[in-house]
Amino acid sequence: MSDNCCQKKGCELSKLKKQQAKVLWMVLFINLGMFVIEFGMGIRADSLSLTGDSLDMLGDALVYASSLYVINKGSKAQAGAAFLKGTIMFLFAIAVFGRASYQIFAGANPEATIMSTIGVVALLANLLCLLLLTRHRKDNLNMSSVWLCSRNDIIANTSVLVAAGLVFLTHSVLPDLAIGFLLTFVFAKSASKVLSQSWREMQQT
C-alpha cells in the first residue's frame, strides 16, 4: 500500500515537472521572438520604454532557460536559479537607467505609432505567457519567481502603451523617459524581492 502510494506520488511529480517544462519552453520561445521584434523596433522608434521592455523580454528568456535547467534538481539548485533571475532583473534595471540617461542628452523624439503597435503585440504575447504560467505559480520557488517575471512584463507593456499615448498627445520625449524610469524602479523592486527570497532559501538548504 505504501509502495503504491509512493509510486503514485512519484508519477504525479514526474507528470508535474513535464507540464512545467512544456510551459517553460513555450514562454521561452515567445519571449525570444518578442525580444528581437521589440529591440529592433525600439531602436528604430528611438523609444526608451520599448527598448527597455525588449531587454526585459531577453531577461525573461534567460530566466525561463535557467528554470528549465533546474526543473529536475533540488530546492537548493532552484533557489540558486531564482537568485540568478533576481540578479538579471537588477542588471536590466541598471541598463534601462543607463539608456534613459543617454536619451536625456541625445534628445531624440520617439515615434508613438511604432511604440503603440509593438506595445500591443508585446502585451498580447505576455498575457499568453502569464496565462500559461498561472496554474504553476504556486508549485515551488522556481515557478513562482518565473510567474513574477511574467507579471512584471504586463506592467511594462501597459506602461509602454501609456507612454506611446502621451508621446502622441504631447509630442514630447518626457512621457517615454518617465515610463523608462518607472520600469527601472519596477525591475529593481522585483529583483530585490526575488533575491531576498532565494537567499533565505539557500541559507536553509
Q: Residue 11: pLDDT above 60? A: no
Domain ranges of the chain: 2-204
96 or 31: which carries more pLDDT confidence? 31
| Residue 192: closest CA among 62, 93, 48 | 93
Give me the CATH topology for the region 2-204. Alpha-lytic protease prodomain-like (1.20.1510)
109 or 123: which carries more pLDDT confidence? 123
How far apart are alpha carbons 73 and 60 in whole angstroms?
A: 20
How far apart are alpha carbons 68 and 132 in whole angstroms?
A: 15
| Residue 15: closest CA among 131, 136, 130 | 136
What would the pLDDT profile of 28-83 be if each residue is shown by its tens digit?
A: 899 899 999 988 888 888 787 787 778 778 877 877 787 777 766 666 776 777 77
123 or 203: which carries more pLDDT confidence? 123
Cβ atoms of 120 and 161 closer than 8 Å:
yes
